Amino acid sequence: MLKTIEETVSYINSKIDLQPEIGIILGTGLGGMVNEIDIHSVLEYEDIPNFPVSTVESHHGKLIFGKLNGKKIVAMQGRFHFYEGYTPREVVFPVRVMKYLGISHLFVSNASGGVNPDFEIGDLMILDDHINLIPNPLLGAHDPEFGARFPDMSETYDEALINRALEIGRQHKLPVRKGCYVGVTGPTLETPKEYHYFRIIGGDTVGMSTVPEIIVAHQMGIACFAISIITDLGVPGKIVKVTLEDVTSVASRAEPQMTFIMKELISGL
């Protein structure tokens, strides 16, 4: 895999003249943050050697280079999911590429379903832990170049960034929570009993992304921060039929608050 990564990185470096410090992955309905970036270069996924191509209609498929609050960034406008038919290693390939491009921090966003009864639609949840129910992206042959074979996951999410994000939320009276994200394969949304199960095992919200990327980033020594917008509720008495359009609509409305927090965090690095 290392040779493949190096080939992709070499191509990207031949097309851009900016070494990013920070990587950003934008989730479902959250691509609008791109409007806040002082864009330097844009590469289409389909033009990048070895890169997967996003097949989900709300994920645009662009790798964007530029500056955000004075920091050099690379942003994925559209991510990849296990449910699209990609292997876990293909899903996280862009994270490994971003590491070799030079990033030291990774900021990840997603839309998810809340299973904590205290949550409301439109709330923001800062991830302080996760439960992985997606096949692990570190399965298979190990390359020591990437980090430990058995990476410790006891402090996966950067505590300083979590505390700063919560403080930003308090200062600006934003609906910010903290909790545990359950990563599942999808693509079906959950049954009422599945929601109940995720709550029993310690989850506060559930979604179909984020965890594979965070596992690989953490293995490679990248400081990680993730934030989730609660777009629907898997709580008894509040469960209703949900469509992708519903999820995208809620995510888009809450996005300015999420973007504000991310920008504030990035400016402080």
Q: Is the pLDDT of residue 161 over 60?
A: yes
Full 3-state SS string of 190-207? CCHHHHHHHHHCCCCEEE
What local confidence, expressed as pLDDT, does residue 61 receive?
A: 86
Asked if 225 and 265 touch (Cβ cutoff 8 Å), the reply is yes
Between 242 and 159, the higher pLDDT residue: 159
Percent of the chain with pLDDT over 70: 97
- What region, left, alpha or beta, does residue 29 occupy, with left being phi > 0 and alpha being psi -120 to 50 degrees? left
Query: To the nearest whole number, what is the mean pLDDT of the chain?
Result: 94
CA-wise closest residue to 25 among 157, 181, 207, 213: 213
Question: Beta-carbon neighbour count of residue 193 at 10 Å?
Answer: 8
10-24: per-residue pLDDT in tens? 999 999 999 999 999
- The CA distance from 65 to 124, in Å, is 26
Domain boundaries, given as residue ranges, for the chain? 2-267
The architecture of the domain spanning 2-267 is: 3-Layer(aba) Sandwich (3.40)
Which pair of tokens denotes residue 207? 């979604």
250 contacts 231 by C-beta, under 8 angstroms: yes
Quick one: DSSP state of residue 50? T
Residue 132: closest CA among 80, 82, 90: 82
DSSP state of 158: -
38: left (phi over 0), alpha (psi -120 to 50) or beta: beta
Q: Are 23 and 267 in contact (CB under 8 A)?
A: no
In terms of Cβ atoms closer than 10 Å to its own Cβ (0-12, 13-18, 19+), residue 166 is middle
- With contact defined as beta carbons under 8 Å apart, do 179 and 205 qualify? yes
126/250: higher pLDDT: 126
- Number of other residues whose CB lies within 10 A of the CB of residue 88: 18
pLDDT at 159: 97
The residue with greater pLDDT, 32 or 133, is 133
Can you tell me the mean pLDDT for 147-155? 97
Q: Which residue has the tokens 């942003």?
A: 75
pLDDT digits (tens, 9 = 90+) for 68-110: 989 999 999 988 999 999 999 999 999 999 999 999 999 999 9
- Longest pairwise C-alpha distance within the chain: 54
